[in-house]
Structure formats: structure tokens, C-alpha cells
């Protein structure tokens, strides 16, 4: 005859399991709740204005292409990284007219979108490459991005640099090429090893962030190039900010199932529009909770989420930089897929190793 385990014994085993999950950054699903549904933790009252950050100021290259740069990387001498190419594009300074008003200057759309001419996008890409490397013929390696945690080691897995790779992370230790990640709200993250001269570029939307694309990418750099976390430095580029990125409970559920610190990534944001406050019924919609444009709504901070992953991967806090800038707030400077209801070009974040 088999006796039932005591409640005390079961509780102890559950505590031990919870401790193991916590070490791995996971959270056990609580019985009695529907699968995928997570209780929303009550956040402090925050307004959109409290989360808005100022737009960064681009540096205009000699060929007229405005770029966002990391000052710490561009410092002269040993304080900077003299062998490193890098830059974050904006929507300014190109030849495309697919997304601008009549009479406005051309824009730097770098994505092969259906609304733009492929030849113009290729010319824009040459402008970007020349602005970063000084030579328009420098090879530019890109991916077909799929919101995944798939990583590609460029220059060694395939003899052709034009391979139609699918994934959301690129890395190389080969000099003379640029790695490029396209974004129009998602978070671009660039990483460089100061000593071993390895570089990587990651595309981190909310799905890729939940799948730990950046944390896994740093681990892959350690495996492939022998990188040590203390030698790595990272830059988080412009993306949609916590001020504008309203999400649904399914996003909260995905994050809380993976990260013990997930509650610190979310804010409940309340509208301060006096018209909406006085006449809330005029703004009611049938959209899912968290996707309506009236408050309170649940907002996630993807920049902080990816900074946490870099810290978890072993990088020092002082080695993590950010350009700042919300793509949805500052539409005069950036393309934003969400703010333009899908009619948007693409920016590009690039990194590479200067030939000796």
C-alpha cells in the first residue's frame, strides 16, 4: 500500500522547484489560472509625458547622411574603439520619396518594402555604407528577419555573403564587412568585443526579446570567438519607447513566464488628454485590452528588457550605451511601423570591423 505524501512534503518540493526556476529566470505557472493568463500586477500611475525622452541629435556625415553614433566608441585613442565601424540610421538624408510628403526632402528608407523602388533603396544603402565605412563598395550583410532567436555566423557558414539567411542575429570576426539589422520600432542592439575584435547585431522585437535573442547572442559570441563578457560593450539603438508601446496581456504573460524581473518592465499608463478625460465614451473602441489608445493601458519597456539581458549575459553596466529616442514619438526623425499604421520605411543599424 502506497501512502500519500504529506502536505508539508509537497510544499517543500514545490519550494525547491520554484528556487530552481528562479535561478533560471523562469516562473512556475500557478494552477487555477487559464493557460497563458497572468495576473496583472498593479503598477504606479504613470502618464505618457513622464515616459517621453528627448530626440537624439544625429551627426551629419560628409555625404549628408545623418547617423546616430556612440560617443564612447568614437573617442580617439585607447579610450574609444578605433577599429570599429558603427552607426544607426534615421529617416533623413536619402533619396526615397515613398513615405514623405510632397515637396519634402528625400528619405533614407533602407528596406525593400513594397511601396518603394528597389533601385532607390539600393542607392540609399550605398549612401549608408559609405557614411559608415568611407567606401560604398563595402559588403553589407543583412537577414530576412523573422522575430526569432536564430543567430547567423556571417562569413563562415556559407561561401556566399549573399545567402538568403533567415534569423534575427548576425555576428562576425571578419574585417571589411558591415552587419545590418533593419528596424521601424523594434530594438536594434550592437555588440563589440574590444580585445578579440568580434562584432554582432541583433533585432529585438518583443517576441525576440522574450526568446532572449540578445542574451543567447552574447553566449554564441563566447562560443565562436572566445569572448569574455567583461571585454564586451553594447549599444541599444532607437526603437519604440515605453511611452508609446501599448501591449496586451498576452505580452505580459509571455514576459512573466520567462523573467523573474518582468514586473519591472511594464507600466500602467494613463492618458492626460483633457478631452478624453472629460468625454471618455467618445473614445471607446472594440480593440483588445492593452491595444486601445486610451488609458489606462499596459506599456512595456523593450530598451530596459534588453539592457537586463545584456547584464544577465555578464556585461558591465558602464559598458552598455543607448542612443535614446522613441521611434513613435519622433516620427520626423524615425520610421515607425506602429505610428504610421504599417506604412513605413526601414532604418538600419550597422556594425563592422575596419580592415587593418
Pairwise CA distance, residues 205 & 199, whole Å? 20
Pairwise CA distance, residues 48 & 183, whole Å? 23
pLDDT of residue 321: 98
Domain annotation covers residue 90: yes
Count of Cβ atoms closer than 10 Å to residue 104 Cβ: 9
Q: Whose CA is closest to 208, among 178, 180, 174, 185?
A: 185
Q: How many domains does the chain have?
A: 1
Grid cell 547622411 in the structure block, residue? 65
pLDDT of residue 49: 83
Paired with 187 in beta bridges are 204
Q: Whose CA is closest to 243, among 152, 338, 333?
A: 338
Q: Residue length, the chain?
A: 356
Grid cell 509571455 in the structure block, residue? 254
* CB-CB contact of 285 with 295 (8 Å): no
For 43, 246, 254, the CA distances from 272, given in Å and listed in that order, are: 17, 15, 29
Pairwise CA distance, residues 182 & 164, whole Å? 15
The CATH number that applies at residue 88 is 3.60.140.10
Pairwise CA distance, residues 327 & 329, whole Å? 6
C-alpha grid cell, residue 228: 569574455
Read off the DSSP letter of residue 55: P
Q: Rounded to 5 degrees, what angle do the CA atoms 253, 255, 260 make?
A: 110
* CB-CB contact of 191 with 170 (8 Å): no
Mean pLDDT per segment of 10 residues, for the chain of length 356 residues? 53 67 54 45 70 92 90 89 98 96 93 97 97 95 96 68 81 97 98 98 98 98 98 98 95 97 94 61 57 71 98 98 97 97 97 96
Three-class secondary structure assignment of 1-53: CCCCCCHHHHHHHHHHHHHHHHHCCCCCCCCCCCCCCCCCCCCCEEEHHHHCC
Pairwise CA distance, residues 71 & 124, whole Å? 24
Give the residue numbers spanning the domain of 234. Answer: 57-241+318-353
Rg of the chain, C-alpha, whole Å:
22
Q: Nearest 5°: phi and psi at 39?
A: -65, 125
Domain annotation covers residue 84: yes
Domain annotation covers residue 43: no
Domain annotation covers residue 13: no
| DSSP H stretches of helix in the chain | 7-23, 48-51, 71-74, 118-133, 206-210, 213-225, 249-256, 274-278, 302-312
Q: Nearest 5°: phi and psi at 350?
A: -125, 150
Paired with 25 in beta bridges are none
Q: Nearest 5°: phi and psi at 286?
A: -100, 15
Q: Whose CA is closest to 127, among 175, 65, 35, 195?
A: 65
Express each pLDDT in 200-245 by its tens digit.
999 999 999 999 999 999 999 999 999 999 999 999 999 999 999 9
* CB-CB contact of 305 with 265 (8 Å): yes
Pairwise CA distance, residues 226 & 221, whole Å? 7
Domain annotation covers residue 235: yes
Domain annotation covers residue 267: no
Express each pLDDT in 150-178 by its tens digit.
999 987 445 445 557 899 999 999 999 99
Pairwise CA distance, residues 198 & 178, whole Å? 12
pLDDT of residue 30: 45
Domain annotation covers residue 11: no
Amino acid at each position: 500500500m502506497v501512502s500519500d505524501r504529506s502536505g508539508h512534503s509537497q510544499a517543500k518540493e514545490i519550494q525547491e522547484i520554484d528556487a530552481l526556476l528562479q535561478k533560471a529566470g523562469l516562473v512556475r505557472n500557478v494552477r487555477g489560472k487559464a493557460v497563458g493568463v497572468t495576473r496583472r500586477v498593479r503598477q504606479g500611475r504613470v502618464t505618457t509625458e513622464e515616459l517621453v525622452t528627448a530626440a537624439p541629435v544625429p551627426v551629419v556625415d560628409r555625404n549628408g547622411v545623418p547617423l546616430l553614433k556612440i560617443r564612447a566608441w568614437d573617442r580617439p585613442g585607447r579610450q574609444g574603439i578605433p577599429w570599429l565601424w558603427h552607426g544607426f540610421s534615421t529617416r533623413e538624408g536619402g533619396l526615397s520619396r515613398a513615405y514623405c510628403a510632397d515637396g519634402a526632402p528625400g528619405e533614407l528608407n533602407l528596406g525593400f518594402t513594397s511601396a518603394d523602388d528597389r533601385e532607390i533603396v539600393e542607392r540609399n544603402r550605398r549612401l549608408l555604407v559609405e557614411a559608415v565605412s568611407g567606401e560604398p563598395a563595402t559588403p553589407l550583410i543583412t537577414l530576412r528577419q523573422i522575430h526569432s532567436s536564430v543567430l547567423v555566423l556571417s562569413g563562415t557558414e556559407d561561401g556566399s555573403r549573399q545567402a538568403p539567411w533567415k534569423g534575427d542575429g548576425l555576428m562576425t570576426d571578419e574585417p571589411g564587412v558591415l552587419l545590418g539589422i533593419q528596424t521601424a520600432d523594434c530594438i536594434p542592439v550592437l555588440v563589440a568585443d574590444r580585445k578579440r575584435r568580434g562584432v554582432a547585431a541583433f533585432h529585438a522585437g518583443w517576441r525576440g526579446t522574450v526568446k532572449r535573442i540578445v542574451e543567447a547572442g552574447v553566449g554564441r559570441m563566447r562560443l565562436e570567438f572566445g569572448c569574455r563578457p567583461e571585454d564586451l560593450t553594447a549599444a541599444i539603438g532607437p526603437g519604440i519607447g515605453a511611452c508609446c508601446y501599448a501591449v496586451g496581456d498576452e505580452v505580459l504573460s509571455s514576459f512573466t513566464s520567462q523573467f523573474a524581473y518582468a514586473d519591472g518592465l511594464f507600466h500602467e499608463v494613463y492618458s492626460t488628454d483633457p478631452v478624453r478625460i472629460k468625454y471618455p465614451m467618445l473614445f471607446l473602441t472594440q480593440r483588445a485590452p492593452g491595444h486601445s489608445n486610451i488609458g489606462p493601458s499596459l506599456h512595456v519597456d523593450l530598451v530596459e528588457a534588453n539592457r537586463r539581458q545584456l547584464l544577465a549575459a555578464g556585461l558591465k553596466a558602464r559598458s552598455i550605451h543607448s542612443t535614446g529616442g522613441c521611434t513613435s514619438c519622433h516620427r520626423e526623425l524615425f520610421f515607425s511601423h506602429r505610428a504610421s499604421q504599417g506604412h513605413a520605411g526601414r532604418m538600419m543599424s550597422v556594425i563592422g570591423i575596419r580592415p587593418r
